Structure 1
Amino acid sequence: MKPEPATEVPQAPLAISEPIADYLDYLRLERARSENTLRAYGVDLRLMTEFLVGQARVQRLSDVTVQMLRDWLAIQHEAQISRTTIARRISSVKNFFAWALKHQVVARDPALRLVAPKKEQRLPHVLQTGQIDRLLSEPASETTKSEPANGEPAKTLSKAEIVAEQKRIALAARDRVIAELLYASGLRISELVSLDIADIDFERRTVRVVGKGNKERVVPFGKPAERVINHWLRNHRKVLAHAETGGALLVGARGGRLNVRQAREVIAQALKSLGDTSASGPHALRHTVATHLLDGGADLRAVQEFLGHSSLATTQLYTHVSVDRLRQSYRQAHPRA
């Protein structure tokens, strides 16, 4: 029995697709939104368009009603899409129609009365100090396999084996920079891979970061991070880099700038190797350094600037984490808890 053909989504009419394209250009050129933000808005508006054209049979944006948009959101609720994702899609749609109204693409805003569900308040996972120490400890993979062990003579490696071994050690040194600098400076993974060598000020031990909204900030890092960065730059970056690498601080196995997916995988594997944490991505290190700073008495405003949060409310989430940890310790240690 042949499977039924997939239902094709009708192509969006120009009266809908062109304003959406203009809006995304506006976000890119005038609002300097990041590629990740543009991608998310593009997906949200594409899904909305597929529903409006395919099911609501809409041909113009001026025909869209609030009930149509609510019907689209109801389908996502039924599909058990998370509240966080639905809230983001509502925000995307509301922002788009507000722009469309301002630029006279529509005469009224059908999304004005849409209400986003409350986001799920999940406390971020925080690594303990001992786990951080293990994560950032020097791995055995930094040593060469050709070194003699137990007095045995060193194995003679071929030229190809020597090159492969140098590359393996270089990648291990680079991976240490990724983990150490993420924890030292609380960077977002996208900010980390965008760094150039010129962004590092070794004299002041600071890094210049261009974050969300194209906002620039200067973030400090400590001596351990300084050591691993210097070790990488002096001894190992040249093994992976080539003439077209440019000034990228972190380099991929093929010599290009390391990308977000590759860096994320490095941290995911490192966290998995700990064996005693459910943390699974680089944002866990950002959560951890923020919480550790607040636990150590850092000012909330200073942590906000350190992380590059536009809103203090976002930073305040970490105070909840600290209080939660304090409450847990109190219950475990206090005799009358």
Structure 2
Amino acid sequence: MQKDSQPESQPKPIVNEDSTVLQSNLFGASTVIKEPADPLEMPFPPLVRTNPLTEQSSLAACAIPYRQELMLRGKSNYTVTCFLSDLKMFSDFAGAETPVGRISKEQLTDWLMKLKFGVPGRIPAPKTMARRVTFLKNFFSWLTREGVLREDPSLSLTLERPLPPLPELLFADEVQRLLRAASADPRCHCLVYLILYAGLKKEEVMGLKMGHIDLSNAKAPLVTIHFAASTGKQHRERRLTLPEEFTAIFKRYQDKYHPTDEVFACTDRNLNYILARAVQAAGIKKRVTLQLLRDTFAVQCLRDGEPPDALREKLGLSDEAWLESREKYRRLAFPK
């Protein structure tokens, strides 16, 4: 009895600069993607090989080119995911095969009103609605900028950004109490100091490598924040100067914990625990998070006369993120 013949395995194709692969988009169709010659040297996502978009192109046809546009602009994975989800929702409302040239401002308004009031008992949060308006303005301004549309139907949409509740910042004496409590553990002292005096995000703290800390000038220690090349950010690093005393703080941390590659070889949850212990030891009753320390840094910079644009660069915020943060920091720094 002969064994069933097994299908021969197909050899994996060799990918070169002329190779193409198929990638499914949100609407179930396939799009041909051109691979870069050397993905490690390409800071941007692969180029999309599709038919040029026109006024007669459907909303579905825009999904993959729009995704690449967002990635090339350095938008975060969260923003890309949210905006593509919003595009899918709008396409379900207007029709995935509807030509983009037939979309009117009235349709955009009808969609927003349906989202806001169409389902009883399921009113979306104001921040979610604001994001969806931001998506519409981003998507249709891109089509207009690329010459696909002659007029932007989202141009006159009003973006009402909700004002989130302001955090309760630490007072100056509480900051000093926290630093004193943190100094009992060099790791905690280093963590708290980096955020209070450089305004790092938690994700940036987690990504710090030993090579990102420069103590060659003990009087002006530097920390460099690197962005992954895949983010497509125009400036892929920012350098921040810390007060002179950080040099001694970091050296004490090295002497006790002996970090080799990562500055903090632990999880973000561990960092939260480290901070919580110092807050408790300092006798502070407020809810203190790593983000609150970053907010404290930003507000202090404004009070010290730092220009808003310079602060934005220090914080490493995108245009969208700065629009949301600028008013918050202004209200905290200069309450009426």
TM-score bracket relative to the smaller structure? 0.5 to 0.7
Structure with the bigger percentage of helix? 1
Q: Distance in 2 between matches of 1:125 and 1:61?
A: 49
Q: Distance in 2 between matches of 1:291 and 1:83?
A: 25
Aligned to 2:27: 12
Q: What is the TM-score with the length of structure 2 in the denominator? A: 0.63
Aligned to 2:239: 218
Aligned to 2:127: 84
Cα distance 1:322–1:193, how it changes in 2: closer, same or farther (>3 A)?
A: same
Q: Distance in 1 between matches of 2:270 and 2:67?
A: 27
Deviations 1:90-143 (A, max 9, x none): 12221122222344555654333322114426444321123223333346985x
Number of aligned pairs? Answer: 264
Pairing 1:322–2:333 present: yes
> Matched residue of 1:219: which SS?
strand
> Matched residue of 1:125: which SS?
coil
Pairing 1:290–2:298 present: yes
Q: Distance in 2 between matches of 1:97 and 1:268?
A: 44
Q: Distance in 1 between matches of 2:271 and 2:136?
A: 29
Cα distance 1:298–1:51, how it changes in 2: closer, same or farther (>3 A)?
A: closer
Partner letter of residue 292 of structure 1? Q
Instruction: Name which of 93, 97, 101 aligns with 1:59.
Output: 97
> Matched residue of 2:224: which SS?
strand
Aligned to 1:192: 205
Aligned to 1:161: none
Structure 2 unaligned blocks of 5 or more? 1-25, 30-57
The percent of aligned pairs where both chains have the same amino acid is: 20
Partner letter of residue 307 of structure 2? L
Cα distance 1:61–1:201, how it changes in 2: closer, same or farther (>3 A)?
A: farther
Structure 1 unaligned blocks of 5 or more? 1-10, 143-172, 242-246, 253-257, 328-337
Cα distance 1:214–1:262, how it changes in 2: closer, same or farther (>3 A)?
A: farther
CA contact (8 A) 1:126 1:291 kept: no
Shift of 1:183: 0.7
Cα distance 1:28–1:321, how it changes in 2: closer, same or farther (>3 A)?
A: same
CA contact (8 A) 2:189 2:249 kept: yes
Pairing 1:178–2:160 present: no
Instruction: Name which of 276, 296, 307 aligns with 2:285.
Output: 276
Q: Distance in 1 between matches of 2:163 and 2:300?
A: 23
Instruction: Name which of 231, 235, 238 aligns with 2:252.
Output: 231
Q: Distance in 2 between matches of 1:92 and 1:110?
A: 13
Partner letter of residue 238 of structure 2? R
> Matched residue of 2:334: which SS?
helix
Partner letter of residue 188 of structure 1? K
CA contact (8 A) 1:24 1:38 kept: no
Shift of 1:75: 4.0
Partner letter of residue 168 of structure 2? H
Instruction: Name which of 135, 144, 148 aligns with 2:178.
Output: 135
Cα distance 1:111–1:207, how it changes in 2: closer, same or farther (>3 A)?
A: same
> Matched residue of 1:187: which SS?
coil
Aligned to 2:81: 42
Cα distance 1:197–1:61, how it changes in 2: closer, same or farther (>3 A)?
A: farther
Q: Distance in 2 between matches of 1:232 and 1:84?
A: 41
Deviations 1:209-249 (A, max 9, x none): 347945333212124533343233333144xx6xxxxx432
Partner letter of residue 250 of structure 2? I
CA contact (8 A) 2:60 2:96 kept: no
Partner letter of residue 137 of structure 1? R
CA contact (8 A) 1:267 1:282 kept: no
Deviations 1:145-171 (A, max 9, x none): xxxxxxxxxxxxxxxxxxxxxxxxxxx
Cα distance 1:235–1:267, how it changes in 2: closer, same or farther (>3 A)?
A: closer
Which segment drifts farther, 174-183 or 304-313?
A: 304-313
Cα distance 1:183–1:93, how it changes in 2: closer, same or farther (>3 A)?
A: same
Shift of 1:288: 0.9
